[in-house]
Structure 1
Amino acid sequence: MWRMYNQERDEDLKVKQSFFRKIVNNSYNFGFGSPRTDVCSTCISLQERLKNEKSPIKRNELMIEKRIHRLKYKAFYNIIKEENKDILTITFDCQKNQPLPKLPDQSAYFSRQFNFYHFAIVQGNSKTKLTKENVHSYYWTELNHAKGSNQIISAVYHFLQGTVIESHVKVLRVVCDGCSGQNKNTGMVSMLGKWLYSEAPRNVKKIEIIFPVVGHSFIPPDRVFAKIERTLKTKEVVVTPSEYTEVLQENGTCINLATIPVYDWKAAYDPVIKPTSSWHFPFMRSKRFFLTRTKTENILVQGEETYRNEINKKKIITKKNKKITMIIPQMLSPNTILPNEAKVKDVCDLLQKHFGGEWRDLPQLKYYVDIENKTYIPSHGIDNMNNDLCEHGFQDVTAHI
């Protein structure tokens, strides 16, 4: 605006940028910004009700409710900003599914496509600078594994096994959204409890799991996703998983989920852990869980519905005569999911519309030719995984493929 103003003025009327800024800021009510997205439903609802409410009493009640809601999410943000050398904070989340292939054709809007999944784990609080060293990206496609709690829990378990925790750390703080199908479930609590008792360094005394207020789950992985999506917007065509992987590698350390052990946690904890309806606190309403060790191969779990208090009792969540060490999950074999035939046909039709009838002869599209022929088994990294698994007494994974 300053440049445009000076271009249209005579030499004696041109002004400095600082003077122009002062006049615009003090004399004009200009606002700049983009339309908001993913805004909290509770915040919007209270704001609209306040606009339309005429009764002073009800307006006062709505203002109190809005203030309480605001205090809750500010308390959450204060926790994830906390800097304490005794606490190691990790945050994780899933990015929205990316289409394979990604094409600009209008017909792609009406066509089924394969999904590329990305799950990010960030080490550090919300003030920590994002680097390739503290951002860990786990990726896979729907032909490698499903996208469920077993995959998410196994990725977190793999990260914890490979993380060096310094001797001064006493608390592991885990922050994630409250999605029950992936994060907030018995499997995640069970895995963290088993890791705490059996594998965590003895200086780690407690695990704290924190879930945000619904609508205010803005955590460090969201910053990673924003950087990735900004890059993906510049790519009109993406036809292979490796093209997505190259973008992930610009922002973090990448791990292919098909090359690490993925376990069936649900089948393993069902005989050992009580159903959440029998736990000593309301599972879904709780915003924080605390896990601590016992001397009897078990863990104590405490649930809190607020971010500031620790008043509820700690009790074990295992069934009678069961211990947390009895959770021994079996490995799920990768690359065994057969693609849906109708989806394969849609993808092939889409590729034909974009690349022409000879698309199968193009080398960059061999990935889809293999899928069409039902021969797709990514071999990259399987030999390495076999060596690692055999060293720990697991069966050769290729025996299951």
Structure 2
Amino acid sequence: MDATRHQVPVTAGFASLTGLLLLAATIGTTLAQDRSSRRVIPGSAAGTARQTARQPATTRQPAGTTQSPNKRLPRSRLQAPDLRVQKLDPKLKAVLLKWEQATAGVKTLKGEIYRYHREFVFNTEKRARGMFYYESPDKGRLDIFAVQIPKGTKSSVQQPGRRDRKSGKRIPGRKVPLAVSGDNPEKWICDGTQVLEVNDTDRTVTSHKIPADYRGKRIMDGPLPFLFGMPPDKAIRRYHMDLLGESGSEVWIRAYPRWKQDAANYREATVILDTATYLPKHVRLTAPDNTQTIYSFFRMTVNSKLEAFAKIFGKSPFRPNLRRYRVVASQSEPVVPSVIGMPWKKAQGVLTAAGYKVKFTAGLPATRKDQLYVIYRQAPRQQAALAPGSQIQLTFFAKPTTGGTKKR
């Protein structure tokens, strides 16, 4: 089992690629960003290109007016959109408008990203770097490369906070040490009709068809849209958004999903905008199981000619030569959400809401109190294609018993 490989589960390719590309699509036409000093999301490990192997110092949230979100519906009631429309703070509305305007003219975009993926159940952090390429409205490419991390590297990170249901106040998480390692290489290519998952080692390619309803400009209405850089009135119908604060160089926004399909993938997103351009620097996604994925953007170029891409790839980066690759699958079924790291009852709710049947199996004995009845294995695995109505077997950390350790 490799629980740290969990990604936001829409489809294996659609989530990884369009999630990043749609964030990238919010980059405006005036960006030529290569700044040496960057503030990072609190608790993030987002550093400069030359500092991938070490953990940058965290900074405090910028001073500013902090709004308490309106009381949100309990997770169990998020079976349909929350149709209550948020009354926007004038400052937040101005930020959203500037963000929308900054994205209007983007046609092509390329840049560098760093990704930090954290599993707090297993206290691990995987780091990766890569390049992305985007062409409006729905083409993109993401190449993730291996990062060499010195053995024994640790990262002190604050766990995601949670909201007290009674008071509505946010309770901060505690700091924990994470074991840091390099992530595996990945390659995702979207030509507008499909997302290709390319494995250069095995020389295989998996095609994930994009539903017709999500193609073209409507890709922003897909299951992982973020809604950043979109019209404010449309954004607040799908998210509750808060302006966390402003500084001389940054604006901080947090978004909570209102819709069931979004809430199943991530419970909140935090974005840092550059006030010089109102364009994103960093994005942090927190999944329902508290898994965090952080994207940091560097050295981005907007509206450069595709001829420049051809110098690297020999042709369009969105239409690679894969004649020597073997197609191993074409997934069209819905994919299984990841519930690894969730308590059994919450995991059951997520899978039942997705239309699956659930069977539980007691597994290894818990070694910590907070592990008791937490899911650590699922079959079929997360992101596997599986028709609704199928059964998923979940294995949880069992209550320790006297007389030895139970092996599985």
- Using structure 1 for the length normalisation, give the TM-score: 0.24
Of Structure 1 and Structure 2, the greater strand share is in 2
Largest Rg, 1 or 2:
1
Of Structure 1 and Structure 2, the greater helix share is in 1
